[in-house]
Structure 1
């Protein structure tokens, strides 16, 4: 069998699917590695990962309080809004930026440890779940101070969060492969994500646009995909009325994203160890 034949045999959807399934099956490995990442990052620290909680909480209170004064918004409504926006944004931000470096940062393990590539992606997503769990404590505290009008239908935040995790996997796979091949992609994504932060309703909302006479921008903002991901989790947790077109957009992007991820895994999975 020639090298060309071997390479052709490795480029199949069955191989790509097996990598994803086998990687998920090695849960003990990526669960342990993800937890170790958290412990190592805050080694010798008294508060450990709760420093992230404190930092996120401080930013949420500062931005929520400032913008509620600037735009004459009710603090009891705007502070939970901003807090949840920042918490969900941190999750999406990490999936994109850390996902772009997921294979480069694990160069040693990829070359020395014969494991499916997806293990490193699952490790990244698991680590972000742990950080999200720490950060959501901030919202719980704020919700106690400013109670939200919850109802049973607001439990849709649970499948919404699971859907975001599913998207984090394909995002990290796609950007991870792309940024491993082209190293300029990572700094480009950093600049793009910074821009999207200001284009996403996190520290401002639709009422802010209308009050400033920029209501027409609301239609343009709908083309920002991150808006829909944020809203499917934030709206139910705030007890707000859900707009189902956000779900439609996210479900469509999930299907399209996974198709692209499977094609990328089929074509380039075997090349990643050489690119890193």
Structure 2
């Protein structure tokens, strides 16, 4: 006998997982930020634990940075024939900002691997560990800025400062935004492919040499000829623009607007990559660590 029953139109629809959606990526970032009491406390504890039983604590970083800046400033000032009172502030601020940039790349690539235990045991958003890292770098930057304050007085840099020096504030905000997306992107892919972290270490070392920290583009321009042409090559280095938007205002130098345009473009591109990475791989990180 042929069945004449109507086909069942109420078949059960299986739920579709939204773990790989932009909504979950944005929710992770939002939930992580709302847990700021957690990552603020963890970041502060990182500093205290690192310098436990030390008399000077995190100020050892300040002393080390100051000594390094003084030694390199005096040496390269003589080699490049640049007045010390002009070159030393340039080098000092460059080193302070570079430490923030390099730590965002190097420590960012290890951010999830280093927090393996917390990721597996603590029910929190993945972005908590990224916020913790950036907050720790802000604290270290605050300690190093004491060198800048001393330099303002010792070398009379404060005389060169104008209202445009306040541009260092939005520049610092931009650096923090880039540190966030850099830690997310490098952290996720370094967790999956452990070879990326040492590669980034070599890249940062090379970038330190190629970025105008120990040398200036003005010195190359004054030499003329092929040396002046190398300034264009230096500008192909994106880290140069990140450095310049905050260093130039702090030492009272003029600045071209294109540095900001380039950094803003990289910020938009970087956050696009970060959201794509969070959308596709956020749920896999706990299995990779």
What interval of TM-score do these two structures reach, taking the shorter chain for normalisation? Answer: over 0.9
Query: Which residue number in structure 2 is paired with residue 88 of structure 1?
Result: 97
Structure-2 residue corresponding to 1:194: 205
Q: Which 5+ residue runs of structure 1 have no aligned equivalent? A: none
In the TM superposition, structure 1's runs of 4+ consecutive aligned residues that sit over 4 Å from their partners are none
Q: Which residue of 1 aligns with 2:36?
A: 27
User: Where do 1:105-116 residues align within 5 Å?
Assistant: 105-116=114-125
Aligned to 1:169: 180
1:14-163 matched pairs, under 5 angstroms: 14-148=23-157, 149-163=160-174
1:216 aligns with 2:229: yes
**1:239 aligns to 2:249 (yes or no):** no
User: Equivalents in 2 of 1:34, 1:169: separation in Å?
Assistant: 14
For residues 47-106 of structure 1, the C-alpha deviation after alignment (integer angstroms, 9 at most, x for no partner) is 000000000000000000100011110111100000000000000000000000000000
State the alpha-carbon separation in 2 of the partners of residues 91 and 41 from structure 1. 17
Residue 211 of structure 1 and its aligned partner are, at CA, apart by: 5.1
Structure number with bigger Rg: 2
1:260 corresponds in structure 2 to 273
Shift of 1:15: 0.1
How far apart are the structure 2 equivalents of 1:128 and 1:225?
20
Gap change, CA 1:211 and 1:241, over 3 Å in 2: closer
**Alignment: residue pair count:** 272
1:207 shift after superposition: 2.7
Could you list the per-position Cα deviations for residues 221-274 of structure 1 after superposition, in whole angstroms to 9, with x for gaps in the alignment?
Answer: 111110000000000011111111000000000011001100000000000000
| Displacement of 1:160 | 0.6
Q: Distance in 2 between matches of 1:141 and 1:154?
A: 17
CA displacement, residues 187-218 of structure 1 (integer Å, 9 cap, x when unaligned): 00000110000000001001332455511111
1:13 equivalent among 13, 17, 22: 22
- For residues 27 and 121 of structure 2, the distance between their equivalents in structure 1, rounded to whole angstroms, comes to 20
CA RMSD in angstroms, aligned pairs only? 1.2
Cα distance, 1:142 vs structure 2? 1.0
User: Quick one: structure 1 residues 247 and 121, their matched pair in 2 at CA, closer, same or farther if it must change by over 3 Å?
Assistant: same
* Structure-1 separation of matches of 2:217 and 2:286: 46
The more displaced of 199-208 and 79-88 is 199-208
